[in-house]
Amino acid sequence: MKSIVRIFAVASAVLAFGAGAEELDDILSDSDDAATSPATQDMADGKTAVGEDDGEGEGEGEGEGEEVDSQKKATAKHFFILPYCRELDGVGEVCMPGKSEWKAIEEGKYYPLGTKYRTVGSDSRLRIVFGKECEVNVRGDSAFGTRLQGLEEKTRAINLISGTILVKLPKNLPEALFSVNAPGFTAYNPAGESRFTYRPNVDGDGDEAVVRCVTQSLSIQGRHFNVMGMRAANEVRIRTSHDLLFTALYGSRGDVPVRLDQGRVLIKDYGTGESRLEDKTLDWKLSPLTAIRIHRSKPALGEKMAVTVMTFDASGELKNRCAFTEKTVEVNSGELGPTSKKDREALAKRAADMAEATNVEGAAAETTEAEAMDAEDGEPSEKANEPKGSDDDLFL
């Protein structure tokens, strides 16, 4: 009932998007009060609003009703039904859903979900408000869009297009209510302030995004990686190819925990004899100058990609490498690269020993081949030139 009242209120108020910010807030507030009033609820439930009392259960449920009302009042409404432009400094434009032309932004005006916003000029500033403590600030030549969705949905999301976008949200915002999307990754569960600098078509070979958690926390989810729990002042740089087959993550500020996919493995319990499939992961700390590279390739048949995940330390040396096919236990190489300095030294020593043994065998083979060639040419060897004793010497 409440949703129906709100939808009719919004439809009548923003017809042709002529209602201002304050007017729409008042209309929505009145509609919420009307939808949650006892008379409205009784009419929706088919009950008589006033004067009907059977004399039984008098006083029952009053405490429960007051408790529910107090919980509703204590629960803050994080988002408005529609975002609106609160402040514009410079040149700003909008592109409505389903349209291709850009028009000038009007301050104090609500815009439908699915609208694209942009600022023109390095000195332009734009402030789009999603709720009482939720807003998106655009600086310079930048652009973003809101996700097209129904009015009844409680979550909100924006799509990065270009430039610098600053997101401000409550410190205690519940999980899964707001997200920031870009090709190759999604920033989820943001709280506090976060900044996104997105540059499409960098050097003609993919897009680059710099994600910084200014205050509170932030997480990033992508295919085959999960950046968990970024904290204040943490920053990472993400590079994604146009075909989404290559992803690189570089550490910029702070130590950021990252969980990487390493394919599916078969785990056998020898005590019970049972087997189960598990998705193996690798926990890596993305520090400044360290890197993660993920290569993918499309198969000729099917949809499961062949994936190679590699990690590199600050000096650029390979630390981990794993190759696998998505959700296929039969195709999984496991760990291929050395994981410690001791392992690398042992691997180098083994390679040197094998090279030395190969050199010794090669020298012996060359000597044997030279003697065989001398015999074929008829040249006497050193043993043939040694003096031979006579038969009389045998009796001396």
First CA to last CA distance, the chain:
131
Beta bridge partners of 219: 188
Note the pLDDT of residue 165.
98
Separation in Å, CA 306 to CA 178, 301, 324 = 32, 12, 6
Note the pLDDT of residue 51.
39
CA–CA separation, 209 and 189 (whole Å): 18
Structure tokens given for 166: 């600053």
Per-position b or e across 289-306, b if 16+ CB within 10 A of its CB = ebbbbbbbeeeeeeeebe
Note the pLDDT of residue 75.
39
Ranges of beta strands (E only) in the chain are 84-95, 103-104, 116-129, 135-146, 156-168, 178-182, 185-191, 193-199, 207-213, 217-222, 225-230, 234-240, 246-253, 256-268, 275-286, 291-297, 306-312, 318-325, 328-335
Domain positions in the chain: 1-44, 84-331
Note the pLDDT of residue 273.
85
Note the pLDDT of residue 6.
54
Handedness of CA 367, 371, 377, 381 (dihedral sign): positive
Separation in Å, CA 149 to CA 113, 231, 235 = 6, 30, 30
Whether 300 and 285 have beta carbons less than 8 Å apart is answered as no
DSSP assignment string, 168-183: E--TTPPTTSEEEEET
CA–CA separation, 353 and 374 (whole Å): 32
Note the pLDDT of residue 347.
63
Mean pLDDT, contiguous 10-residue spans, the chain (396 residues): 50 48 51 45 42 44 49 60 96 96 96 97 96 95 95 93 97 93 96 96 85 96 96 96 95 96 90 89 96 94 91 94 92 75 69 67 59 56 49 44
Whether 212 and 195 have beta carbons less than 8 Å apart is answered as yes
Residue bearing tokens 């107090």: 70
Centre a 10 Å sphere on the Cβ of residue 307 and count the other Cβ atoms it contains: 20
SS3 category, 17: helix
Structure tokens given for 267: 């785990």
Residue bearing tokens 């002042």: 233
